[in-house]
Structure 1
Amino acid sequence: MNGGQVGRSRTAVVQPCARCGARWAVQGKPLHWCPRCHGVLLSPAPVDAPADRRNYRWVARPPGRKASASQPVRRTGTAETPRYHQIPRWGLQDRPAAPAAETYRPLAAWTDRLEQLLVATAVVFLVAAVAELGRYGILLRNRTRLIQPWLLWISDAAVTVSAVLALALALMSAVALVGWLAETRRVAYANVGESDSRSLFTLVLGCVVPIANLIWPGIFLTEAARRTGDGDPRLLRAVRIWWAAWLLNAVLVLVALIYRFANSLQVQADGVLVAMWTDVVAAGVAVASLGLVRDFAGLDLRGRPKTLRRWVIATGPVRPVIEPVRRAPAAAIRDDAVVGADAPAVDDAAVEDRAGASADAGQQEVVAK
């Protein structure tokens, strides 16, 4: 014991120093000041008192370093409350998640309105077909009677306005479809861990250049369909149907242009009828395009989620609902013939004769019916 300091003391009650951490044995009256550093002594407490019963704290020092009575413990820091002027960099950093980079969407303003454009295109082409049909009816009527000028003016205006409006909507829908095609291909290739090998410029050229746009759009869509939904054959079939409608529409457009250069009145009248069918097929192509867009999105033509139907192989045996009538064995007939334990014995031959007679009677009854 050095100056009353407890080393390995048998004293059970000590007073720790709040400054240097030395523990002093309580001998009689408790002290107020530490004999070593003149710090405040805490109230007496048992040496092995648990944490909830102590009114002092432990001070950690580096291994092998002990405070001496001649060297008072120096305080570090200031009297101000410790605080940080900025977020400390020595701890765990909870950085906010970086925002995802926005995907570049070419022609996004058109692509977002694709479905509305396709519906409007189909409706206007149907109106144009009705206008062409009305003109054809006027031509038939004009063979025997004169047509009023105001009716001709209405017919010409309806045909011209509907044709121009349908052409404008078709061009806008084509631009939106190119943007949709680029986005669909990018998503389809990303789902299989690949990147689209065809640039936007290539897609535009394949869909815009005449004659080439009869082949390349179908190829672009087929490549995307094979990477969407594990190559769903129904999606590939929808692409082929759209492709066939697109080719048919191109053929009808070419035929309608040829009819425009005819000199005969009858051929020109036939050209009006061909123009009407061209507008009908163009409306069908717009509807097929809308269905194709929704097929890639997993929807039906009306925009509802598709119901997947899967066929499984039936492994159980095929059993008829109504079992066929079979002849009972002789043993069963013998058992039915026995009424009680003391009944007389029945001859097997007689039982078989009875069974045969019953079968013959049943067969005769069936024949009679």
Structure 2
Amino acid sequence: MGAPGSGAVVQPCARCGSRWAVQGAPMHWCPRCRGVLLSPGPVDAPPERRNYRWVARPPGRRPRPGGARPPVPAPGGTPGYPDMPRWGLRDASPEPARQERGRLARLADRVAGLLVLTAVLFALAAVAEIGRYLILLRNRTRLIPQALLVVSDVSLYLLAGFALLTALVTAVALVGWLIRVRRAAYAAAGERDPWPVPMLLCGCLIPVVNLLWPGVFLTELARRTDPRALRAVRIWWCAWILDGVLVVAALCWHAADSLQARADGVMLSAWTDLAAAAVALLSLWVVRRCEGRDLRGRKRQPQRWVPATGPAAVLIEPVHRTGEAAGRAPEAEVGDDRAATGAAPGTAEQEEVMAK
């Protein structure tokens, strides 16, 4: 398109800036870029006489009557604020949708506290068993008061019962924790846990079967989350199997009829309770290692070794001979130093030792 002559009426394009001469009815769209054409106006009209003008106003503010402009305030100092300004565009992040959590998930959140409680109860039960064994030893030569026997029986049965009940609840909580952590580990890799939830429950809660499958499940989890946790899983697995063997041996030992066998069964029960307390603490260790925490629940800081790129810096530069002194014997060099300084032989030897 040629340049329009003086006094021609044109329509500027709001997109590409081209000016199109008006011939007849005004156009709405630019033939070049399909942009919006502004209203017609003289091509040589000054900006204040054009029939359009861009005015920027805040939202909701109406134009002033008569086109009067507001007075411009005198420039002042740099604005200051007593605290962090809160004005501006702020996009509030959407709140995550609430997910209904079952009892198993809520129980899995308390697995650490349940493990500590289980270890404490089994340790107290072991102390009660040891107290019963000492009473039996005392009863060989002297009679035991009836009140002491009642206290021993009540403490033993109560602590053993509470320990077993807490251990059962803790086992269910551990299974819930295992399901949640395995699901998160496989989801991070874009996969799905190959073991269904009923299989995890059966493999961890059915007696005798649960001596094998929990170690398999934890080994798969450790290989995906932190391979360094495999050592903790293997130690826990050995302790878990040993505790199962001790439980079976204690049950069989209590079936004996002789007094000595029953006394030995009490001591074996004490060792079984101590092993159960140790397994509870080892379980807490495995849980923390798989979560990337230490035994107290603090976040573990990774230790990184950086290879050295340059040679080791020499702290003490060795003494090198220069000039004619390089060809002399060490004795002659020492003699020359003594003659030059005029010091006594003993003093030179002391200075040499201090220099070394």
TM-score (norm 1): 0.63
In the TM superposition, what are the counterparts of 1:131-150 in structure 2 within 5 Å? 131-150=128-147
Q: Does the CA-based 8 Å contact 2:7-2:42 persist in structure 1?
A: no
Determine the structure 2 residue equivalent to 1:193.
190
Q: Is the 8 A contact 1:178 1:203 kept in 2?
A: yes
Which residue of 2 is the match for residue 333 of structure 1? 325
The structural deviation recorded for 1:310 is 2.8
Q: 1:316 to 1:266 in 2, by over 3 A?
A: farther
Residue of 142, 150, 153 corresponding to 1:153: 150
2:45 corresponds, among 42, 49, 60, to: 49
Matched position secondary structure for 1:305: coil
CA distance in 2 between counterparts of 1:10 and 1:223 reads 85
Mapped pair 1:240 → 2:237 = no
Offset of residue 205 of structure 1: 1.1
1:295 is aligned, of 289, 295, 298, to: 289
Choose from 107, 110, 114 the match for 1:110: 107
What is the rounded CA distance, in whole Å, between the counterparts of 1:288 and 1:222 in structure 2?
Answer: 15
Q: Answer yes or no: is 1:170 the counterpart of 2:167.
A: yes
2:244 counterpart residue number = 250
Distance 1:354 1:286 in 2: 74
Alpha-carbon distance between aligned partners in 2 of 1:222 and 1:353, rounded to the nearest angstrom: 68
Distance 1:228 1:11, change over 3 A: closer
Match of 1:91 in 2: none
Consecutive unaligned residues of structure 2, counting only runs of 5 or more, are 10-21, 25-40, 54-92, 337-344
Count, aligned residues: 272
Could you tell me whether the CA contact under 8 Å between 2:7 and 2:44 is conserved in 1? no
Contact 2:215 2:233 in 1 (8 A): yes
- Residue in 2 that maps onto 1:217: 214
Please tell me the residue identity of whatever aligns with 1:119: V
What residue is the counterpart of 1:63 in the other structure?
none
Give the C-alpha shift of residue 333 in structure 1: 2.2
Within 2, Cα distance between the matches of 1:264 and 1:49? 123
8 A Cα contact 2:115 2:170, kept in partner: yes
Amino acid at match of 1:355: A
- Secondary structure of 1:137's counterpart equals helix
CA RMSD, aligned part only?
Answer: 3.9
Structure 1 counterpart of 2:270, one-letter code: M
The answer to whether the 8 Å contact 1:106/1:179 transfers is no
The answer for the alignment partner of 2:202 in structure 1 is: 205
User: Are positions 1:269 and 2:263 aligned together?
Assistant: yes
- Rounded Cα–Cα distance in structure 1 between residues aligned with 2:183 and 2:262: 47
Deviation at 1:242, TM superposition (A): 1.2
Structure 2 letter corresponding to 1:272: V
The answer to whether the 8 A contact 1:330-1:355 is kept is no
Q: What SS does structure 2 have at the residue aligned with 1:153?
A: helix
CA apart distance, 1:194: 1.2
Structure-2 change in CA distance of 1:51 and 1:289 (3 Å) = farther
CA contact (8 A) 2:6 2:44 kept: no
Supply the distance in 2 between the matched residues of 1:200 and 1:140 (Cα, whole angstroms): 50
8 Å contact from structure 1 (residues 235, 295) kept in 2 = yes
1:123 counterpart = 2:112: no
The structure that has the greater radius of gyration is 1
SS at match of 2:225: coil
Q: 1:173 to 1:332 in 2, by over 3 A?
A: farther
- 1:312: how far off? 4.5
Q: CA deviation at 1:243?
A: 0.8
Match of 2:79? none
Shift of 1:125: 0.7
> Could you tell me the percent identity over the aligned residues?
51
After TM superposition, give the deviation of residue 56 of structure 1 in Å.
6.2
Change (3 A) 1:9 1:239: closer
The residue aligned with 1:281 is 275
One-letter amino acid matched to 2:275 = V
- Match in the other structure for 1:74: none
Structure 1 Cα separation of the partners of residues 48 and 235 of structure 2: 82
Residues 160-179 of structure 1, C-alpha deviation per residue, up to 9 Å, x if partnerless?
00011000000000111111
**For the structure 1 residues 175 and 317, does the alpha-carbon distance in structure 2 shift closer, same or farther, using more than 3 Å as the test?**
same
Q: Distance in 1 between matches of 2:300 and 2:307?
A: 23
TM superposition shift of 1:98? 10
Show CA shifts across 1:56-84 (max 9, x none): 68xxxxxxxxxxxxxxxxxxxxxxxxxxx
Work out the CA distance in 1 between the residues paired with 2:182 and 2:166: 24
Distance 1:320 1:248 in 2: 55
* 1:81-120 paired onto structure 2 within 5 Å: 102=99, 107-120=104-117
